[in-house]
Amino acid sequence: MIEFTEQDKNQMAKKGIAKEKVLDQINTFKEGIPFVDLQSAAVVGNGIYRFTDQEEQDLIALYENRVKDLDVLKFVPASGAASRMFKALFAFLDNYNPKKETLKSYLERKGDKDIKILSEGMDKMPFYDKVMSRLPDSIDAEGEKVYLFVRELLGENALNYGFYPKGLLPFHKYGENTATPFEEHLKEGALYASSSNASNLHFTISEQHEEMFQSELKEVGDRVSKDTGTSFAVDYSFQKPSTDTIAVDMANKPFRNPDGSVLFRPGGHGALIENLNEQDADIIFIKNIDNVAVMEGAKAVADSKKTLAGILLKVQDKAFKYAKMLDDANATQADLVEIKEFLENELNVKFKEGFGSLSEEEKINLLKSKINRPIRICGMVKNEGEPGGGPFWIKNAKGEISLQIIESAQIDMNNEEQVNILQNSTHFNPVDLVCGIRDFNGNKYNLMDFVDSKQGFITGKTKDGKELKALELPGLWNGAMAHWNTIMVEVPLVTFNPVKTVLDLLKDSHQA
């Protein structure tokens, strides 16, 4: 039995974490989290829709015709720090001294492909002019130029971009101006997430960066508003301390810091389901902060988003009609069969055998429980080697089969059958979601009711040289939405342009 000290209890109370929740997390460490049970990969024709050009045009028109009467929100997870983007550059500063060797000999010695690519494409980086304007005019050797460039970019007393939130770095260069992902999301908001020339955006950010984001909005907001003819309402939220999870030692006892306090760690992006749960709109677009391209591809991106929103509206119309019919208790036996077929064929709901032998009341209750859920339309791109969660049919502990976005860490790589299913996967999730979170009466669902807490992750970490186990909450688009009704749709690759390392900025999609 774990005993907590008064100091521990005060620490939990300050974070807003109940003792029972911590004990439950410790129990999860002891029991472990079972791997998911993949049934098959979701592919086009079995879990993933592919629409013709004409069908897409019809869906876009449906959304455009109705959007003026809808509350629309763009929800952008944006708390990612830029430090990971520059990992290779930080290592270069540690490993290279331009006074002692040439860049060529360093590249041969270390085989540093990243720095080779950077040195060859430096002038195409969006911040090149800004960095160079801060360096001496005469730099003799190439190695010294690259070294001073990187030091100026990352140095604490220089531009310090490694400290920045990813959303506020210069990503794209348009003539004399550069644009941050934050600015590009505003422009995108005007294109597809606006109603009556007004666009609402919500960014989840780290608390220490709030002033920086507000300052960026002041700097670019009016200009983007003028250029797009759209007014912007922007607000922010932070990951809640109450979503932090306890870390344990290898004996599953609370891991303690040198001062005796218990170590709590951020629960991962799955914690953002609580932030999403505080929003309310007819349609919510979700897209990561770093997934933006230069505006040349903007129409294709906007059309793809409008297509997904059109699908949501179309399927929601039917779902709301059937949910009201069930609520009014005027559904005939034929109606119940029709509702079940709609759930199976359009919302990918799987029923266990024996539905026909249930009483009428049992059928109605089961159909109500299946249809009264938030709906997510998930864009899926063809897998071309990029990392990301994939779409699969899985079976849970109750024997229920459902369509889910699964990360590779959730799959048993020692199970040949499961690995074969993984290898049959053709698409992956670029975090491209359009969500309907209201019921047929217009009331918002409590999204916390639809989380599968058994889809978290246990990972190994170290702190102060000691091993520990950490718990990540079910991912925002994984277990946190496990009990939503889910539709998956193939979307074009042009919609997926993430920036995981600084070198991604040299790709064509980020070059204006």
Using the predicted structure, report yes or no on whether residue 387 has a pLDDT greater than 60.
no
Query: Which residues pair with residue 73 across a beta bridge?
Result: 200, 284
pLDDT tens per residue, range 49-68: 999 999 999 999 999 999 99
Across the range 417-435, mean pLDDT stands at 92
pLDDT single digits (tens) 162-171: 999 999 999 9
Q: Mean of the pLDDT values across residues 410-425?
A: 92
| pLDDT score of 165 | 95
Q: d(Cα 143, Cα 377) in Å, to the nearest integer?
A: 49
Q: Which residues of the chain are in CATH 3.90.550 domains? A: 6-81+167-510
Closest CA to 290 of 190, 431, 424: 431
Angle (nearest 5°) at CA 370 between 369 and 372: 70
Mean pLDDT within 348-361: 92
**What is the rounded distance in angstroms from the CA atom of residue 338 to the CA atom of residue 323?**
12
Over residues 9-22, the pLDDT tens digits come to 999 999 999 999 99
Of 315-324, 397-406, 431-440, give the lowest mean pLDDT range.
397-406
Which residue in 275, 384, 260, 285 sits closest to 63, CA to CA? 285
pLDDT of the residue at 42: 96
pLDDT of residue 429: 85
Q: Is the pLDDT of residue 457 over 90?
A: no
Residue 220: C-alpha distances to residues 70, 229, 278, 376 (Å): 26, 14, 27, 32
For residue 258, what pLDDT is reported?
92
Class of domain 6-81+167-510: alpha beta
What is the arithmetic mean of pLDDT over 201-212? Answer: 95
β-strands 72-77, 231-237: how paired? unpaired
pTM: 0.95
96-104 contact pairs (CB < 8 A, 24+):
96/143, 96/147, 98/141, 98/143, 98/144, 98/147, 98/148, 101/143, 102/141, 102/142, 102/143, 103/141, 103/142, 103/143, 103/146, 104/143
Residues 254-276, mean pLDDT to the nearest whole number: 93
In this structure, what are the phi and psi dihedrals at residue 400, rounded to the nearest 5 degrees? -85, 135
Confidence of residue 449 (pLDDT cuts 50, 70, 90): very high
